[in-house]
Amino acid sequence: MSYQDEEEQMDYHTDSFPKDFGYGHFDHETDSQSGTESKPRILLMGLRRSGKSSIQKVVFHKMSPNETLFLESTSKIVKDDINNSSFVQFQIWDFPGQIDFIDPTFDSDMIFGGCGALVFVIDAKDDYNDALTKFKNTVTKAYKINPRIKFEVFIHKVDGISDDSKMESQRDIHQRATDDLADAGLNQIHLSFHLTSIYDHSIFEAFSKVVQKLIPQLPTLENLLNILISNSGIEKAFLFDVVSKIYIATDCTPVDMQSYELCCDMIDVVIDLSSIYSSEETAFDNQSSSLIKLNNSTILYLREVNKFLALVCILREDNFSRQGIIDYNFLCFREAISQVFELRLKNQKSETLEQHDEDDDAFKPTSMRNGGSMTIDSPGTSVNA
Ligand SMILES: Nc1nc2c(ncn2[C@@H]2O[C@H](COP(=O)(O)OP(=O)(O)OP(=O)(O)O)[C@@H](O)[C@H]2O)c(=O)[nH]1
């Protein structure tokens, strides 16, 4: 991880979570090419004690949920660089709850101008009238400056709340938030709502969806996963960022929370076991793979894609009898992913050289021309299982 100090009023913490392992030849080059400022920015906003810092610490710094009880209130903007892989690169800015961003000294052009997503955290256990007022003011201001921001509402701390109450809170908050914006003449803004808690996987799932919207290559990755599962007899496949356990893409079949949790747990098991039997640097490397058989004739199969990404698949035991085909298709998939990385890297380089127009077409594989990322073919030949 790298930390920058550009703004004087900001407080930069230097937690040294061991994420400084390299990512093959892409890592170094991408860092130097992309620069911190070109990374999408995710803002965490909301009232005091709504849970913003806890979310950031639990998802990106492996803090255990119970430890967040001892977090001190944030008094300055805390800026955190997430550099897990070429696909997972962004900054998170955690705002103090009491900040008055309508204050003229608050540089909203700078804050909202380079923002990709604004996550607004609402404490579902608290009276949320004030939160909704602040939400409306924040969105109105941010949208005026940058209409491309994705607005994400986390209805947070829903642990210990019955399913019915959760749904009721979500319905109520959704209704009131959209009504408020409509009153302000902003009914065209699209809001996404997520029920979250740091005490289960919901926060990782919600953050996965936020991050995915910031990955321009998402349709390509999804398409590659669709090709992989349909040719290999796999029921569900997730492409995971191993460090944070957020999934950066999945196939087009619906995500059910239990499957996602199983896959997250599998990553934990693999990392923990590898750490016992190997040194820390090699806990997850290009040889990593794992197979877990569940007692309901289902198999969880994990394969390393690169140093930061893992593919975790769920499939029926019968279909695993043709493991050779699955493995072969996986190699095609991995090759395709590395081509997407290379393409991204080249595009970044070409942007740096300000030669977009001439260079872009030359760098795209034939199947991606005409902007048709949904029609990308998997390099290599997939074999039908
Ligand atoms: N039950 C429950 N408590 C949570 C959850 N997330 C955070 N908390 C608790 O909420 C309290 C406030 O969390 P913080 O992360 O400090 O809140 P914040 O929004 O960063 O607060 P400020 O820095 O004051 O703006 C802490 O005691 C957390 O343990 C959650 O999902 N469920």
Complex ipTM, two decimals?
0.98
Q: Which atom of ligand 1 is nearest to the CA of 94?
A: 20
10-residue block means of pLDDT along the chain (385 residues)? Answer: 34 32 28 50 92 92 92 85 73 83 74 90 92 92 91 94 92 94 88 95 94 90 95 94 90 92 91 76 69 92 88 93 90 92 77 54 36 31 45
pLDDT at position 374 is 26
Q: How far is residue 254's CA from residue 40's CA, in Å, rounded to a whole number?
A: 27
CA of 123 to the centre of ligand 1 (A): 9
Report whether 216 contacts 185 (CB < 8 A).
no
pTM of the predicted protein model: 0.79
pLDDT of residue 354: 55
For residue 66, report the distance from its CA to the centre of ligand 1, in Å. Answer: 10
Question: Domains in the chain, start-ordered, CATH in brackets?
Answer: 24-212 (3.40.50.300), 218-375 (3.30.450.190)
List helix spans (H) across 35-80.
52-61
Residue 175: the pLDDT is 94
Q: From the alpha carbon of 121, which atom of ligand 1 is closest?
A: 19
Task: Give me the pLDDT at residue 369, please.
Answer: 30
Closest by Cα among 216, 246, 1, 241 to 116: 216
What is the 52 CA–ligand 1 centroid distance (Å)?
6
Distance 30 CA to ligand 1 centre (A): 34
> Probe ligand 1: pick from 11, 58, 70, 71, max atoms within 8 Å of CB?
71
Task: Say how many Å lie between the CA of residue 349 and the centre of ligand 1.
Answer: 40
Residue 173 Cα, ligand 1 centroid: separation in angstroms?
Answer: 19
In ligand 1, the atom with minimum distance to the C-alpha of 96 is 25
Tell how strand 289-293 and strand 298-304 pair up.
antiparallel
Question: Distance of alpha carbon 8 from its chain centroid, rounded?
Answer: 28
Please list every protein residue whose CB sits less than 6 Å from any atom of ligand 1.
Answer: 46, 48-54, 68-69, 71, 73-74, 96-97, 156-157, 159, 197-199
Looking at residue 34, its pLDDT comes to: 38
120 bridge partner residues: 45, 153
